[in-house]
Amino acid sequence: MTPSVSLIISVYKNTEALLLILKSINLQSFNGPIEVIIAEDNDNLEMKNTIKSFSPNLNITIKHIQQEDLKFRKCKILNTAIRNATSPYLIFIDGDCILHPQFIKSHLKFKKPKQVLFGRRVMLSKSLSDKLIKENSIKRLGLFNCLIHQCKRIDAALYLPFLKPKQKSGFWGCNWSIFKEDIELVGGFDEQYNEPGIGEDTDINWRLEQCGIYTLQIKNHAIQYHLYHPENYSNTAKMESILAQKKETFSINQSHNALIGDLNIKG
């Protein structure tokens, strides 16, 4: 049976966070066929064993794809995940973001061709994140504990299904979805972005918009809880300069080739 959705999780070494994510997947209100693709920018044995040990507890299909750890190659492993996805619809999340029970259902509720959906995330405090990891449980997640532990962006924790989604630009790679054929249209992720930063997100957002694929915000529908960690952006300015150069080339050429470059998701 073809899965209704392929949920792609980008991970790097953080097995404790992945266990919490898998627990949240098990609690999703959506009961259709789900394919989970764990896209690991590493070939860590601990990650492999963690997934293997938890798999019997899941009622979904898991694919674990790995690549050699040659520093930051998130975009490359995500492209590999896209090629391996068997569902026509893809959801992307980061490996430190726990899902609200309505998360997958919300993304699928509003999906349309030529459209990107994106949500926001609650920024958990260090104290609450530490408790979740220590207890290996997501039972404490919810508005009350977010308030008690002084988490940030708590407004994103409110599940408000009656709200109408808004057309808005600027999605982050931790919480968005798209039809597979639409991301193939722009060649997938640009693998030039080889350091942590915002480049890989803003780049694909820009390329999709140039191809007429608009973005719709589903904040308060698709809710995430982001586990605390210190920021690890190493060279944001360098990554932003790559996109600036691409925009300049595109404005001069106004061509499909200038937009896509050497990318080839099917290669």
Give residues with Cβ within 8 angstroms of 135, minimum separation 6: none
> Both tokens of residue 91?
């959801």
> Both tokens of residue 188?
């997938």
pLDDT score, position 51: 93
Average pLDDT rounded to a whole number, residues 229-251: 71
Q: Which domains does the chain have, with CATH numbers?
A: 5-121+165-260 (3.90.550.10)
pLDDT score, position 244: 76
What's the CA gap between 243 and 190, in Å, rounded? Answer: 10
Write out pLDDT tens, residues 99-150: 999 999 999 999 999 999 999 999 999 999 999 999 999 999 988 999 999 9
Does the pTM exceed 0.75?
yes
Has residue 189 got a pLDDT over 80? yes
pLDDT score, position 95: 95
Has residue 224 got a pLDDT over 90? yes
Task: Please state, for a pLDDT cut of 70, what percent of the chain lies above it.
Answer: 91
* Residue 193 and residue 207 in contact, taking contact as beta carbons nearer than 8 Å: no
**pLDDT range class, residue 228, cuts 50, 70, 90:** very high
SS3 (DSSP) at 57: helix
* Residue 59 and residue 25 in contact, taking contact as beta carbons nearer than 8 Å: no
Has residue 258 got a pLDDT over 70? no
**pLDDT range class, residue 254, cuts 50, 70, 90:** low
Task: Please state, for a pLDDT cut of 90, what percent of the chain lies above it.
Answer: 67
pLDDT score, position 229: 86
Write out pLDDT tens, residues 15-57: 999 999 999 999 999 999 999 999 999 999 999 999 998 888 7
Query: In DSSP terms, which residues pair with 224 in a beta bridge?
Result: 99, 121
Look at residues 70, 21, 17, 19 and name the one whose alpha carbon lies nearest to residue 43.
70
